[in-house]
Amino acid sequence: MKKVVVVGAGPAGLMAAEVLSSSGVAVHLFDAMPSIGRKFLLAGKGGLNLTHSEPADLFASRYGQRRVQIEALFKTFDASSVRSWAASLGIETFVGSSGRVFPLDMKAAPLLRAWLARLRRPQNGVPVEFGMRHRWVGWHQPLASNPDQRQAAESIELDFETPQGMAHVTADAVVLALGGGSWARLGSNGAWVPLLQAKGVAVAPLLPANCGFDVKTGWTEHFTSRFAGQPFKSVAISFCNSQGVSFARKGEFVATASGVEGSLIYAASSLIRNEILARGHATFQLDLLPDMTLERVLAEVQHPRGTRSLSSHLKSRLHIEGIKAAILHELLSKEQMNDPLQLAQAIKALPITLSSIRPIDEAISSAGGVLFEGMTEDLMLEPLPGVFCAGEMLDWEAPTGGYLLTACLASGAHAGHGVLAFLKSGV
């Protein structure tokens, strides 16, 4: 019986293991952490967003420059497949008001338990063997690094650090699903990058994705002490980078002690991040009242206020209070606050300049990774026959909303089928 080693017990690795074990392949799945799916469980703590129900074309557009490569994976396993797969595990799903898809109970743990039960005790196929606290540290023997040497590469041997010492594991094929560079405490630390680069694998630098940013001058102590951690709700942001690529969306985000983060910021984070890397700063426009026109806002600001303070006037006429009022006082001078036109313009388009990206370990996900250009269509590494990659360690990124998990599952399924084809070919 053929033996495949999967390294990484996240969604991509588990899905690759499922495809392989259900096809009668012996799968040994190793992970450095003490338990399985830690990042998956934490990501689902506030409600597990499995995928999104929007049309396939719009869904695919969320993957930006890697749309073509990710769409190819969806031919194996797409957003509708996610819901069917969950149902096969006994997990009912529903579509929320935003179009996002969740388990009926909103929890990640029941799904993971059902998934692991099937992998360990499949009705058809070979049970997956798990090895926890096994940290992959490299290759035990030289791998064939030239396509012409594939016939000579009969097996692959890997080294793992374990509590009992070094372990050497041999396999007919390997699936690496080691994650990106975010949330190192949960296992995704990017330590695999030099191990692959040493074998001639092309890897784009790992960068924060779905991340927060620091404002250029920093918030004042007054603003931070009162409003750090509070959300801007029912606002919109717009941003246009130096290449003319623009972003505009309504939603909400959060003020942090040093800047901004949250869903609306994450949605624009790739554009903002790349602009900061290229130019050292990026400025977006904040619309505090996206459902009002500038003319309406100006009329309300100019409305006679009698003896009322400006703060009371803005609260009464425009419902601007709390953090929305505070950000105006934070970024506008007294002269600007007392000029109706400048104040109205700021309410509709307040410029906020960001100068640095929060560390990758704080990010929800990461960009960069193994380049698709150095892989076969089956996700096998060209320099390393029999070694496949899946999940967030590949060079792609996507916003939150179910897109990350769907692509991880799709790449795991695709890599699993790639391994089956590789084993069948006898290469």
Look over the chain and give the mean of its residue pLDDT values, rounded to a whole number: 95
| Domain 3-207+367-425: which CATH number of 3.40.190.10, 3.60.15.10, 3.50.50.60, 2.60.40.2230 | 3.50.50.60
For 377-401, what is each residue's pLDDT tens digit? 999 999 999 999 999 999 999 999 9
> What pLDDT was estimated at residue 315?
96
Using one digit for the tens of pLDDT, what is the confidence trace for 119-136?
Answer: 999 988 999 999 999 999
pLDDT digits (tens, 9 = 90+) for 33-71: 999 999 899 888 888 999 999 999 999 999 999 999 999
Q: What is the mean pLDDT of residues 329-343?
A: 97
- CA–CA gap between residue 165 and residue 393 (Å, rounded): 26
Q: Tokens 């997956």 map to which residue?
A: 128
Residue 149 tokens, joined:
């040497």
- List pLDDT tens digits, range 267-277: 999 999 999 99
Higher pLDDT, 131 or 148: 131
Return d(Cα 251, Cα 234) in angstroms, integer: 6
Average the pLDDT over 317-332 and give the result: 97
Average pLDDT over residues 176-201: 94
47 φψ region: left (φ > 0), alpha (ψ -120 to 50), beta (else): left
Q: Which backbone phi and psi does 198 adopt, to 5 degrees?
A: -65, -20
Q: HEC string of the chain? A: CCEEEEECCCHHHHHHHHHHHCCCCEEEEECCCCCCCHHHHHHCCCCCCCEECCCHHHHHHCCHHHHHHHHHHHCCCCHHHHHHHHHHCCCCEEECCCCEEEECCCCCHHHHHHHHHHHHCCCCCCCCEEECCCEEEEECCCCCCCHHHHHHCCCEEEEEEECCEEEEEEECEEEECCCCCCCHHHCCCCCCHHHHHCCCCCEEEEEEECCCEEECCCCCHHHHHHHCCCEEEEEEEEEECCCCCEEEEEEEEEECCCEEECHHHHHHHHHHHHHHHHHCCEEEEEECCCCCCHHHHHHHHHCCCCCCCHHHHHHHHHCCCHHHHHHHHHHCCHHHHCCHHHHHHHHHCEEEEEEEECCHHHCCEEEEEECHHHECCCCEECCCCCEEECHHHECCCCCCCCHHHHHHHHHHHHHHHHHHHHHHHCC
Span 316-327, average pLDDT: 97
Domain(s) labelled CATH 3.50.50.60 in the chain stretch across 3-207+367-425
